[in-house]
Chain A
Amino acid sequence: MEDNHANPGGAAHGSLRQYTIGLILSIVLTAIPFGLVMTGVQASLMVFTLIILCAIAQIFVQLVFFLHMSMESEQIWNTTSAVFIVLIVAILVLGSIWIMQHLNHNMLMGH
């Protein structure tokens, strides 16, 4: 009973092992993009894609190992709402960039 009270529904159920794995993976996924850029690699689509991929991977690592997101029934509403917000954020960010680029193009802002 007492143990139940320490972990109310939806709360974190972490372990030292989980946090350590999360930390190590995060360090690796931070070191890769910083290493690439700081060694003065030429800017290219490849490098941009790598930076984005490392960022997305690290966000997932932190969601799973630090925020303990999962598909368990106790966590399912946290996860569902987060997936919904990802959709909203994608519409907001990609939509804004898309629209503004077209506006710039039509108004010849580059000239």
Chain B
Amino acid sequence: MTDTTFHNDIQRDDHDHHDYDGDTLLGFWIYILSDCILFASLFATYAVLSSSFAGGLTPKDLFDLKLVLGETALLLFSSFTFGLVMLGVQRKCIKTVYIWLAVTAVLGVAFLGIELYEFFHFSHLGAGPTSSAYWSAFYALVGTHGLHVFAGLLWMAVLVFHFLRDGLSQTNIVRLSCLSLFWHFLDVIWICVFSVVYLMGVM
């Protein structure tokens, strides 16, 4: 009798667990949407201050679209390779997961490298975060996106340790699915950044 109850409990637990996974993803999705509001306020700030140069350097003087095109390509391809990671999960092939996760991470690091170079380059030429309202808004917006990318890279590193320890467990798959949402979301934000900040900035 007790044995049957125990067995039933396990079954129910399993069933509940299955539902929690969907809830976790929906919850993470709602976090991402709240992050959209954060970026929306930064974009609004940027738009409002978009011509407040305090007589200093303007984006037309500094922006190099070739670099931005490079950054865009890196982030877009990393979004694609994260898709390949999720295909590896579907096929239960942990080797595919590791390989494409590594490629994604390398592309992400390269993106951050170019962005940091750009920041130091601009600051060196006299357009630092304190130079004018425009540049404050620029560093706040683009820097926040960069910080998110950095967080995503840290998360990837942590997940690799989880995978090495537990393999493709259900919990790990849910974690990876959350990170996948996050990474694609960062690419969507970058579309807005390169369109509004860089392309419109040099025109």
**Contact residues in A for B202 (Cβ distance below 8 Å):** 37
Distance in angstroms from B125 CB to nearest chain A CB is: 21
Stretch at the interface among B83-91, B112-120, B138-146: B83-91
**Contact residues in A for B24 (Cβ distance below 8 Å):** 8
- Selected contact of A63 from candidates B72, B174, B180, B188, CB within 8 Å: B188
Who on chain B is nearest to A62 by CB? B188
B21 touches A6 (CB 8 A): no
State whether A12 and B26 are in contact (beta carbons under 8 Å apart), knowing that A27-B76, A33-B195, A62-B79 are contacts in the complex: no
The answer for the CA separation of A81 and B72 in the assembled complex, in Å, is 27
State whether A6 and B80 are in contact (beta carbons under 8 Å apart), knowing that A11-B25, A37-B202, A89-B37 are contacts in the complex: no
- Name the interface size band of chain A: 35 or more
- Does any Cβ of A come within 8 Å of B157's Cβ? no
B173 touches A43 (CB 8 A): no
The answer for the CA separation of A32 and B175 in the assembled complex, in Å, is 35
The answer for the CA separation of A88 and B187 in the assembled complex, in Å, is 20
**Contact residues in B for A81 (Cβ distance below 8 Å):** 29-30, 33
- Does any Cβ of A come within 8 Å of B47's Cβ? yes
Interface of B is mostly: helix
**Contact residues in A for B25 (Cβ distance below 8 Å):** 8-11
- Selected contact of B184 from candidates A66, A84, A89, CB within 8 Å: A66
**Contact residues in A for B173 (Cβ distance below 8 Å):** 6, 8
**Contact residues in A for B26 (Cβ distance below 8 Å):** 10, 77-78
**Contact residues in A for B29 (Cβ distance below 8 Å):** 10, 78, 81-82
7 contacts between A and B (CB under 8 A): A8-B170, A12-B86, A14-B87, A16-B87, A30-B76, A54-B195, A97-B44
Given contacts A14-B86, A34-B199, A62-B184, 19 further A-B contacts (CB under 8 A): A5-B170, A9-B22, A10-B29, A11-B21, A11-B22, A12-B177, A19-B83, A23-B77, A30-B73, A33-B195, A34-B69, A34-B72, A37-B65, A37-B199, A38-B65, A59-B192, A78-B26, A78-B29, A81-B29
**Which residues of chain B have a CB within 8 Å of any CB of chain A?**
18-19, 21-22, 24-26, 29-30, 33, 36-37, 40-41, 43-45, 47-48, 65-66, 69, 72-73, 76-77, 79-80, 83-84, 86-87, 89-90, 92, 170, 173-174, 177, 180-181, 184-185, 187-188, 191-192, 194-196, 199-200, 202-203
